[in-house]
Amino acid sequence: MSTPSFTLHESALDPEAVIWFAEPPGFTALPLNVLLAPRPSPPHDELRALLAPVLDSAPDATHRRILLAQVAEGQKLLRALGEVGTAHCAIGLHRDDLDGLDNPDGPDDSDEPDSPQGLADDPGPSGGTARTLLSLFTLTWRDIAPAPPTVTAARAVTSGEQPPHSRIEYVDGLPCGPVTLSETVRVPPPGSGPCPQELLQLHAHLPHPDGTRLAVFTLSTPAVERREAYRSLLRHVVETAGFENPLARARP
Least confident of 56-60, 74-78, 100-104: 100-104
In this structure, are residues 153 and 39 in contact, taking their beta carbons and an 8 Å threshold?
no
In this structure, are residues 36 and 78 in contact, taking their beta carbons and an 8 Å threshold?
yes
pLDDT of residue 242: 93
What average pLDDT does the segment 228-238 reach? 94
Rg (CA), the chain: 20
Q: What is the DSSP letter of 13?
A: G
pLDDT of residue 127: 47
In this structure, are residues 183 and 162 in contact, taking their beta carbons and an 8 Å threshold?
no
Handedness of CA 170, 105, 90, 24 (dihedral sign): positive
Cis peptide before 40 (omega within 30 of 0): yes
pLDDT of residue 120: 56
Name the average pLDDT for the chain. Answer: 77
Does 55 score more than 70 pLDDT?
Answer: yes
Three-state SS string across 62-116, please? HHHHHHHHHHHHHHHHHHHHHHCCEEEEEEEEEEEEHHHCCCCCCCCCCCCCCCC
Question: Band of the pLDDT at 160, cuts 50, 70, 90?
Answer: low
Q: Which residue has the higher pLDDT, 6 or 145?
A: 145
- What 3-state DSSP class applies to 130? strand
What average pLDDT does the segment 212-238 reach? 94
pLDDT of residue 66: 81
E strand or H helix at 240: helix 227-240
Q: Which residue has the higher pLDDT, 64 or 174?
A: 174
- What 3-state DSSP class applies to 205? strand
- Calculated CA dihedral for residues 202, 23, 2, 250, nearest 10 degrees: -130
Q: What is the DSSP letter of 226?
A: G
Chain-centroid distance, C-alpha 104: 21
pLDDT of residue 7: 63
Does 159 score more than 90 pLDDT?
Answer: no
Q: What phi-psi label fits residue 127: left (phi over 0), alpha (psi between -120 and 50 degrees) or beta?
A: left
Cross-strand partners of 29: 90
